[in-house]
Structure 1
Amino acid sequence: MNLYGRSWTRRELEARVGRMEQIGGVRRFKSTEGKEADVEQIQVRTGAGLCYYVTPSKGLDISLAEYQGAAISWQSPNGDVHPSYYNEAGTGWLRSASGGLLMTCGLMQVGSPNEDEGEQLGVHGRLHHTPAQQVSAVSEWSEDELDMTVSGVVDETSIFGGKLRLSRQICSRLGVNEIIIRDEVRNMGFQRCPHMILYHFNFGFPLLSEETQILFKDTKMEARDADLPLDDIAEWQAPDASYSERVYYHVPQSKPEVEIINPNFPVHSGTAPVHVSLNWSGETLPKLVQWKMPGAGEHALGVEPSNCWVGGRKNEREQGTLVYLEPGETVKYELKLTIR
């Protein structure tokens, strides 16, 4: 493996440490106080500067993510709230959403609250507030490479209703500043089931500064609200308490990619250029939502690959764009975040 500017074998590294976690690895723990009490997290350190926290208590989503000791993610004012505080009615999701690098929205509802076929649906569905099961966090050697994998399953089910299962793997490798997310959603029921999913990546300060550029590669774009400007989507700005959120819809025309570039990201030796890129499969995630919110406190950029827009399930049904999974059908998603 490549680490600290040179190539190493497994035995060369093992000779230099008492335990490999001295360099990087996985570690499980629980919070102990306030609304975060009993929330489990799994810390993943690549040894090359990337550190992030997977939260089994909240759908195996990813909370804080750091590079070289500085945050690249945006954390919500709620913190990593225990899912028992979740209120799914209306906009209650906003009171317990954690922010972090990734909040997964779905599996049967994404976007605005609505009533669809007699069912009341809150913001962004239930997945982010559903604890995972069959959770595993392992480090395994493959010759001279150490792979770290967090995995588990999350079920969204109801009697006489939909029955979807998300099987998730989050993978990183020692010495590599990369996160690979591999998801599979299966309809475990015997009726076709609506399926909506949106990967709500949240980037924040200090990755986001007035110098930061955001590049959307080869997309067709329009604003969700007709009166929004279209000429500032690639720029960031200082916090503005009067700023109102802006939402833009992108349709990638080729291989989907978003790149965030900060020419003066803080590192231990001062500052250095940092590039964060997000890639995903456009076959199953053909849409991209951009949430621009450089407000005060709520100072975040949302980059959100999806199979739907954010008008809610009723709107998708009325537009004839609602995705369904047939009984026993599966769909696979893969996303990759890279820092260089």
Structure 2
Amino acid sequence: MRLYGKQWTRREIEARVGSVAQIGGVRRLTLTEGKEAGTEVIEVRTGAGLSFEIIPSKGMDISLAQLWGTPISWQASNGNAHPAFYEPEGTGWLRTASGGLLMTCGLAHAGSPSQDETGSYGLHGRVHHTPARNVCIREEWVGDELEWSVSGIVEETAIFGSKLRLTRELSGKLGDNRIAIRDKVENFGFRPAEHMMLYHFNFGFPLLGEWTEIRLPEADREVRADGGGAALESSVSWEAPNPDAEETVFYHSLRREAVDEKGMAKATIVQPEFPTAGGTRATEVSLSWSADTLPLLVQWRMPGAGEHVLGLEPSNCRVEGRESERLRGGLFVLEPGQSVNYRLELNVD
């Protein structure tokens, strides 16, 4: 493996530590105070500077992410509130959403509260507040590389309603500041099921600053109708906190030239003055995703005070809700027994 600027064999590393956990690895924790009490956390340290928290209690999503002890994610004031406090109606999601590096929105609904003949759907759906089962941690030497993975299953079901199952695996290796996410969503019911999916990645201070540059893939771009007259040019820059700032949503419909040979599109945040223990250094955080199953990048720009966050959100839908999506041409439907695969990667350099 490559670690601390040089290549090592497995035995060279093992000779220098009592336990490889001294360098990095995966461990399970449980929070104990306030609204967070009982929330499960899986802490991952890559040994190369990147560390982050996977939350099995909340859809196998990712909460705080740090680089050399400095945050790259935005954390909501709610903390990692236990899903028992979740209010599914209307915009109640906002009271317990964790922020963090990733909040998954879906599986039957993503976006604004909506209602149709199948029922009432609150903001961004239920999956972010649904605990996972069959949670499994793996750490395994493969030659001279120590690979890790965390997997689990999240189900969204209703009697007489849709039955959707998310199987998620997050993986990487020691010495590598990369997170690979492999998701499969399947309809294990016996009727067609409408499926909306949005990956709500949240980036914050000090990765975001007045000198931050946002590099977006080639796309046809537009501002959401209630964007307050925001200019498209503002989608690639950042600014100091403004208590009077209003959120803006941009839609980036991917063009063919945005997709690489592996079928992935990419957006990158560049911070030329990211803080480190010895000063600052140029740092890039890149998010890649499977363009065939996530053809739209939703960008949430909120440079407010407290809510000071940039959302990069690969998606198979817009965020106006089910009714609006149906009027635009229909929701994505999974037939009985059908599944769809999503691939995402986060790289930090």
TM-score, length basis structure 2? 0.96
Q: Deviations over 1:111-138 (max 9, x none)?
A: 0011111511100000000000000112
Q: CA deviation at 1:70?
A: 0.3
Partner amino acid, structure 2, of 1:217? P
User: Does residue 343 of structure 2 align to residue 334 of structure 1?
Assistant: yes
Counterpart for residue 112 of structure 1: 112
- Provide the rounded CA distance (Å) in 2 between the counterparts of 1:219 and 1:46: 33
- Provide the rounded CA distance (Å) in 1 between the counterparts of 2:306 and 2:210: 16
Partner amino acid, structure 1, of 2:101? L
- Provide the rounded CA distance (Å) in 2 between the counterparts of 1:332 and 1:67: 29
User: Does residue 270 of structure 2 align to residue 261 of structure 1?
Assistant: yes
Counterpart for residue 279 of structure 2: 270
Q: CA deviation at 1:321?
A: 3.1
Equivalent of residue 312 in structure 1, options 299, 317, 321: 321
Partner amino acid, structure 2, of 1:236? W
User: Does residue 153 of structure 2 align to residue 142 of structure 1?
Assistant: no
- Provide the rounded CA distance (Å) in 1 between the counterparts of 2:314 and 2:108: 16
Equivalent of residue 291 in structure 1, options 270, 275, 300: 300
- Provide the rounded CA distance (Å) in 2 between the counterparts of 1:29 and 1:276: 27
Q: Deviations over 1:132-185 (max 9, x none)?
A: 000011211111101110000000000000000000000121000000000000
Q: CA deviation at 1:228?
A: 2.5
TM-score, length basis structure 1? 0.99
Q: CA deviation at 1:262?
A: 0.3
Q: Deviations over 1:282-301 (max 9, x none)?
A: 00000110000010000000
1:198-213 maps to which residues of 2 (within 5 A)? 198-213=198-213
- Provide the rounded CA distance (Å) in 2 between the counterparts of 1:283 and 1:88: 30
Partner amino acid, structure 2, of 1:235? S
Counterpart for residue 26 of structure 1: 26
- Provide the rounded CA distance (Å) in 2 between the counterparts of 1:321 and 1:211: 40
User: Does residue 221 of structure 2 align to residue 216 of structure 1?
Assistant: no
Q: Which runs of 5+ in 2 are unaligned?
A: 260-264
- Provide the rounded CA distance (Å) in 2 between the counterparts of 1:224 and 1:323: 21
- Provide the rounded CA distance (Å) in 2 between the counterparts of 1:209 and 1:85: 33
% identical equivalent positions: 56
Partner amino acid, structure 2, of 1:130? T
- Provide the rounded CA distance (Å) in 2 between the counterparts of 1:115 and 1:161: 15
SS at 1:232 equivalent:
helix
- Provide the rounded CA distance (Å) in 2 between the counterparts of 1:110 and 1:315: 11
1:37-52 maps to which residues of 2 (within 5 A)? 37-52=37-52
Counterpart for residue 195 of structure 2: 195
Equivalent of residue 302 in structure 1, options 305, 311, 334: 311
Counterpart for residue 236 of structure 2: 234
Counterpart for residue 185 of structure 1: 185
Partner amino acid, structure 1, of 2:321? G
- Provide the rounded CA distance (Å) in 1 between the counterparts of 2:16 and 2:197: 44
Q: CA RMSD in A?
A: 0.8
- Provide the rounded CA distance (Å) in 1 between the counterparts of 2:325 and 2:33: 40
- Provide the rounded CA distance (Å) in 1 between the counterparts of 2:5 and 2:230: 46
Deviation beyond 4 Å, 4+ runs, structure 1: none
Counterpart for residue 15 of structure 1: 15
Counterpart for residue 124 of structure 1: 124
SS at 2:54 equivalent:
strand
